């Protein structure tokens, strides 16, 4: 049986260590906070620039968002929701904050302000709106599979909208 010299042993040990590190790094799940931060960046990018590519990479094709009074189903549904929202809102300012996470779940707070049309038939007449929500997200197979949001949105009275 052939014997290994010191150089061969060292080379084999280095290769085994590198392979082990690569496997452990690729198999190690991302922390809920790190994943949440990627989501926040992607969500902000989608709403501010219209570029949804980073968000699409983080969401499952069959994602479901449970929102007050409605469900948004599938990636295409979420994409349409954002595109429609971007067309309606002006002066949008969003503030997402990571609150907690464990395993495949994470929780965020969401505060936003923006100007929304009072009447879709008259988009020039807007009212300042404030939103405050808590959101829980479930990750499955490395992507967001489901999200629950609950909170409030309040608009200024129509009589106060668009005062000079």
- Cα separation of 139 and 145, whole Å? 6
Host domain of residue 145: 31-160
pLDDT in tens, 84-131: 989 888 899 999 999 999 999 999 999 999 988 877 677 677 888 999
Residues forming a β-bridge with 114: 129
Question: Has residue 148 been placed in a domain?
Answer: yes
100 phi and psi angles, rounded to 5 deg: -165, 165
Backbone angles phi, psi at 155, to 5 degrees: -115, 150
How far is residue 84's CA from residue 81's CA, in Å, rounded to a whole number? 5
Residue 83 falls inside a structural domain? yes
CATH value at residue 45? 3.10.450.50
* Range with the largest mean pLDDT of 52-66, 80-94, 142-156: 52-66
Is 35 contained in some domain? yes
pLDDT at 155: 76
In a domain, 1, yes or no: no
The domain total for the chain is 1
pLDDT, one tens digit per residue, over 147-163 is 999 999 887 665 444 44
In a domain? residue 125: yes
Round the average pLDDT of the chain to a whole number and report it.
Answer: 83
- Asked if residue 8 is part of any domain, the answer here is no
Residue 23 within any structural domain of the chain? no
Q: Is residue 5 in some structural domain?
A: no
- Structure confidence at residue 142 as a pLDDT band (50, 70, 90): very high
């Amino acid at each position: 049986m052939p014997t290994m010299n010191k150089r061969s042993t060292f080379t084999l040990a280095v290769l085994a260590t590198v392979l082990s590190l690569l496997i452990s790094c690729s198999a190690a799940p991302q922390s809920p906070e790190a994943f949440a931060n990627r989501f926040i960046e992607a969500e902000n990018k989608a709403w501010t620039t219209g570029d949804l590519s980073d968000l699409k990479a983080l969401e499952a094709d069959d994602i479901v968002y449970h929102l007050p009074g409605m469900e948004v189903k599938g990636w295409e549904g979420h994409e349409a929701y954002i595109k429609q929202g971007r067309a309606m809102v002006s002066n949008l300012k969003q503030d997402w904050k990571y609150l907690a996470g464990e395993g495949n779940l994470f929780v965020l707070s969401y505060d936003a302000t923006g100007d929304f049309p009072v009447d879709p038939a008259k988009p020039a007449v807007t009212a300042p709106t404030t939103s405050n929500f808590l959101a829980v997200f479930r990750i499955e197979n490395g992507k967001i599979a489901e999200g629950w949001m609950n909170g409030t949105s309040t608009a200024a009275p129509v009589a106060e909208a668009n005062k000079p």
